[in-house]
Chain A
């Protein structure tokens, strides 16, 4: 019964995002833009939550996977978009959608592959090493992109321009719904106990027959995949991307959402992503204080309420005993 509910919720979310998308021309551009930002940040926060929250690892490089997705998908639409459209029978909503879907998937899969490459060596080690390695990976990606040839496919320090504006309300919120469903279904299944066991006690987990390394890598790969999708959506929303947009501070933004919402609490993390994105938008004039407030929040939260503002237990359904 519970399982049908989740299927239904997913379908409903997809239908609603399609519906809103179709009449999005009625919406004010400014508010639509904020909503799309909110959606992208929800995808980032929910996917990072699988790694940092449910699985108890600590990645500080989510923006790097976002960058891989953004660059990967943009290269598909920029370099191959035209020929793909031709094959699909000329420009039109269908050809455009198929092209974008392929681009997003290429971005997501590239990010997932990077997640696998980074995760394999570092996930054998303790959490604080992973934090540094992912931070380092974030830096490497940025340095490499910045030092590419300005005329080449990556555009050097200036990045890429003229990316087609394919991202719509539907794409963002459909992806967000799929991310939430996927991670929720995974974590709430018997299979998903493995993630939680890794977080709680790796040695006990191994003793219960759980391949902890595989779960850690899996969480990391899935998290990176959705970060890659978010990157693709971001690129085709902004239409220009540059390496600086995916620096360490972008990763910190997502970490703050996860910690504020409550590590391992899907609802909390979504709420935090929404609230912080909207706040950021309205506090633009106070940009210089923003990070001071964020950093103080991190410190105070860890001392006063490390479980987050809306911790996981709060929303757990009371099961019949």
Chain B
């Protein structure tokens, strides 16, 4: 029994490599989760898919870029965590305003119209943001400034984790906890939950639905903006169409977790991030092109719609007859 035992998988699947991929997936997944939260919240209150959400993510990254250019000298004087925080918060505020404006101009006039019309409008808004961004910012890739210092965290055995990755994960987790607090403990959060359960009843109970909807768009857009800046910190090259794929994947994450369900969106984001990273990391072993990573989310989407359309944590809805 001793000697050269043939272990077919030991060579292809060393544990440390697997853990490394898992970690990488976790960092990416936490960003998907941030974007997915916006999809799920808007779906919760308005029952429609805000197609333009991925483009608010893109807007967040560009806002970060331009803020950094604008505040350049000031930035240099601040310690980097403060600089990061300033850019993050300002971009979140600006994008929240943009989200509220989009809802007010494009979606509010369609409040009582068929859902299909709102969906088409959302596609229109998405394309409008992308092509206007292309006109304004240019079609080429732009480098995103290095705010977080480069370098690795030591003492993790064979694993490589950069400071940026840690910051991304910590920020995402903090934002999700903050969101949970807002939704569960504040008055507006409670109104949001009431509205998503029953719009008519919540209006009768004295909730101003329009205010709550604006608030939801603001909140979702702020999270998307944060996601955009974190994503650009991880992959520091941004362009007007950068939001399309992450946006779609985050939407799949929201469906996977159960659309309308906030913890579900976070869970879905992590699952998509990890699966995608694993597929890319093991593409050689699996014998598939690594480019397939971008198809993974859609395969998951079709599978979830086939087997559990209400999502992992969602409840099935029945139409009233």
Contacts and interface: CB of A to CB of B under 8 A. Distances in A.
User: Touching in the complex, A and B, CB below 8 A?
Assistant: yes
Interface in B261-292: 289, 291-292
B49 A139 contact: no
A100 interface: no
B247 to A, nearest CB: 11
B120 A298 contact: yes
Interface size of A as a range: 35 or more
Contacts of A118: 302
A136 B299 CA distance: 8
A152 to B, nearest CB: 12
Interface stretch (B131-139, B142-150, B204-212): B131-139
Interface stretch (B4-12, B111-119, B190-198, B229-237): B111-119
B13 interface: no
A144 interface: yes
A197 B130 CA distance: 36
Contact of A139 (B106, B114, B248, B255): B248
Nearest to A303: B109
B309 interface: yes
B294 A143 contact: yes
A292 B131 contact: yes
B319 A132 contact: no
A294 B127 contact: yes
Contacts of B125: 295, 299
A137 interface: yes
B306 A121 contact: yes
A312 to B, nearest CB: 15
B305 interface: yes
Interface in B297-321: 297-299, 301-302, 305-306, 309, 319, 321
B123 A128 contact: no
Given A131-B49, A298-B121, A122 B302 contact: yes
Contacts of B109: 303
A302 B128 contact: no
B119 A127 contact: yes
B252 interface: yes
Contact of A203 (B119, B305, B321): B321
A11 interface: no
A302 B110 contact: yes
B32 interface: no
A288 B319 CA distance: 43
A147 B119 contact: no
A214 to B, nearest CB: 18
Nearest to B129: A295
Contacts of A143: 291-292, 294-295
A299 B124 CA distance: 6
Given A136-B252, A288-B131, A292-B131, A302 B298 contact: no
B109 to A, nearest CB: 5
Contact of A136 (B119, B126, B291, B297): B297
A127 B295 contact: no
B18 interface: no
B251 A132 contact: yes
Contacts of A144: 292, 295
A292 B128 contact: yes
Contact of A128 (B49, B127, B291, B297): B49
Contact of B135 (A124, A128, A292): A292
Interface string A105-132: 0000000000000100110111111011
Contacts of A302: 110, 113, 117-118, 120-121, 124
Contact of A298 (B124, B131, B135, B309): B124
Nearest to B289: A147
Contacts of A203: 319, 321
Interface in A31-67: 56, 58, 60
A247 to B, nearest CB: 10
B298 A121 contact: no
Contacts of A129: 255, 305, 309
Nearest to B109: A303
25 contacts: A56-B116, A58-B119, A60-B123, A121-B302, A121-B306, A128-B49, A128-B116, A128-B119, A133-B305, A136-B252, A139-B248, A140-B295, A143-B292, A143-B295, A144-B292, A252-B127, A288-B135, A292-B132, A295-B126, A295-B128, A296-B124, A296-B128, A302-B120, A303-B110, A306-B114
When A and B form their complex, which 4 residue pairs have the shortest distance between CB atoms, in order from nearest? A298-B124, A136-B298, A295-B127, A147-B289
Given A147-B291, A292-B128, A302-B117, 12 more contacts: A122-B305, A132-B255, A136-B301, A139-B298, A140-B295, A140-B298, A140-B299, A143-B291, A144-B295, A248-B244, A292-B135, A299-B128
